[in-house]
Amino acid sequence: MALTQRLELRQSHALVMTPQLMQAIKLLQLSNLDLTAYVDEELERNPLLERTGEAGREGDGPGASGMPAPEGRPDIANGAFDAARVGSSSRSGGDEIAHYSRWTSSEWAGARGASAEDNNLEAWVSAQMTLTDHLAEQLALAITDPARRMIGQYLIDLVDEAGYLAGDLAVAADKLGASFAEIDAVLAILQTFDPAGVCARNLAECLAIQLKERNRFDPAMQALVEHLDLVAKREVAALRKICGVSDEDLTDMIAEIRRLNPKPGLAFGSVVVQPVVPDVFVRPREDGGFTIELNSDTLPKILVNQHYHAEVVRTAKSEHDKGYLADCLQSATWLVRALDQRAKTILKVATEIVRQQDGFFAHGVQHLRPLNLKTIADAIGMHESTVSRVTANKYMATNRGIFELKYFFTSAIAAAGGGEAHSAEAVRYRIRQLIQAESPGDVLSDETIVERLHAAGVEIARRTVAKYREAMRIPSSMQRKREKRSALCAP
């Protein structure tokens, strides 16, 4: 066979991950807080980007971006969004989006900055004292030796928010070049600090420190603290034998243990917990349907300043400057379009979720249907990976509370009569209801719960009931029986 050279033309399709496509995918899976931080970085990096209302010119507005808004619809990236009205029927395709509403930006959006008289000095000095600061102040008074004070500060830095010492003393001794006895001696001093029980290494030591301060750490109480696992299981007979006390004394000792603080460090300030800000609002309508709206506060309101771009381009002389401006314009345009597409995609996915789970919004969790990503993806004509990114770190505010979008995706459990499958979350809700309704004299075993669920049309195995019960942190039937009897016998 002769070897020859020749030219051939081949046509193929391939997905090219352009920087713009990667940016759109990244924005889609960001939470509202991460998205705000990302947009802030872009505003600092790109001189052609600005927030809506910052320019201070009458001509600046949605039209100043130089981007045509979608035909017949407002530009979501410039501060408006669509409100989809969903009918009560979960299979009515014509009612998916029946109304659009324009939301204007807040009157505060045009604020150019805080004036000097707006500075509140109290906001700078009213910070809450943390546990670390509180312990450090006591350390300065309790220990004067510089070496021991350094050891004490190191150990204080290892204390978590609950007040427990999270580190290993052996590792601390090796790192600080001190003996284990020296580390242990400093720890003993720290454990005398306020609040009582702080710097303990486990729950038993925390309770023992508090009992010693109250002068109640006698041998019987010490034996009780060393067997907290039996206290949790309510093994009264075993505890009575170990402690060597009567039933009445044991009841008093357990009551005193319960009055102690298992997490003394939580009384002080810690890291501020950021509240969940919903991305979507779902409101019931009088006709039985639901109105789905994007939260305008979570949508960055930015635009491309075409006027500034035109002025700068006229003064640019070198090709490098012109290329830089062209890159900035392209990057800004793509960012605005990506934000617009992100908002539309979230609204579309949320709308379909409400259509599929209309029973939950109307009647409660027991009417939650089995749902997976493929069902939503097929209904809205998108890929499953896109739906997965949209539902990550996104929250929906409903008339029944705030839920992550992933909450509405539950596995299916077969029906006993071959009918419509049940949602796993709805089955867990039924199990919780059955256990909450049980009486002290008739505590339901897992097998009994299975029988009652079978009678209600749910085909489920006993091990599945046990798995769901443990996931909800519900104790076993024997432990629940002990707790209910102890509650009845308590004075």
Give me the pLDDT at residue 144, please.
87
To which residue do tokens 């005193």 refer? 256
pLDDT digits (tens, 9 = 90+) for 93-127: 333 333 333 333 333 333 334 444 445 555 444 55
Which residues are CB-neighbours of 213 under 8 A, at least 6 positions away?
196
**Are residues 336 and 65 in contact, defined by beta-carbon separation less than 8 angstroms?**
yes
**Are residues 316 and 322 in contact, defined by beta-carbon separation less than 8 angstroms?**
yes
Share of the chain above pLDDT 90, in %: 24
Round to whole Å and give the CA distance between 155 and 86.
57
Give me the pLDDT at residue 101, please.
32
Looking at every residue in the chain, the average pLDDT score rounds to: 79
To which residue do tokens 């006698």 refer? 218
What's the alpha-carbon Rg for the chain, to the nearest Å? 32
**Are residues 178 and 139 in contact, defined by beta-carbon separation less than 8 angstroms?**
no
Query: What does 281-313 look like in DSSP terms, one character per residue?
Result: EEEE-TTS-EEEEE-GGGS--EEE-HHHHHHHH
Q: What's the gap between Cα 180 and its chain centre?
A: 40
Is 90 exceeded by the pLDDT of residue 321?
Answer: no
Q: Considering only 5-19, 105-119, 157-171, 386-400, which range has the smallest mean pLDDT?
A: 105-119
Which residues are CB-neighbours of 70 under 8 A, at least 6 positions away?
340
Q: What is the DSSP letter of 314?
A: H
- Set out the domains of the chain in order of their start, with CATH numbers: 20-102+283-359 (no CATH), 131-267 (no CATH), 411-489 (1.10.10)
pLDDT digits (tens, 9 = 90+) for 154-203: 999 999 988 999 888 888 888 888 899 999 999 999 999 999 999 999 99
SS3 assignment, position 130? strand
pLDDT band at 16 (very low <50, low <70, confident <90, very high): low
**Are residues 435 and 474 in contact, defined by beta-carbon separation less than 8 angstroms?**
yes
Round to whole Å and give the CA distance between 155 and 162.
15
Nearest to 270, CA basis, from 195, 196, 138, 161: 161
Q: Considering only 123-132, 155-164, 310-319, 419-428, which range has the smallest mean pLDDT?
A: 123-132
Average pLDDT score over residue span 393-402: 89
pLDDT digits (tens, 9 = 90+) for 342-385: 999 999 999 999 999 988 888 887 788 888 899 999 999 998 98
Average pLDDT score over residue span 8-25: 75
Would you state the structure tokens that stand for residue 405, as one six-digit string? 């979008």
Give me the pLDDT at residue 199, please.
92
Round to whole Å and give the CA distance between 119 and 108.
17
Is 70 exceeded by the pLDDT of residue 77?
Answer: no
Choose from 127-141, 201-215, 427-441, 453-467 the range with maximum mean pLDDT.
Answer: 201-215
SS3 assignment, position 279? coil
pTM for the whole structure: 0.58
Is 50 exceeded by the pLDDT of residue 205?
Answer: yes
Nearest to 137, CA basis, from 129, 145, 126: 129
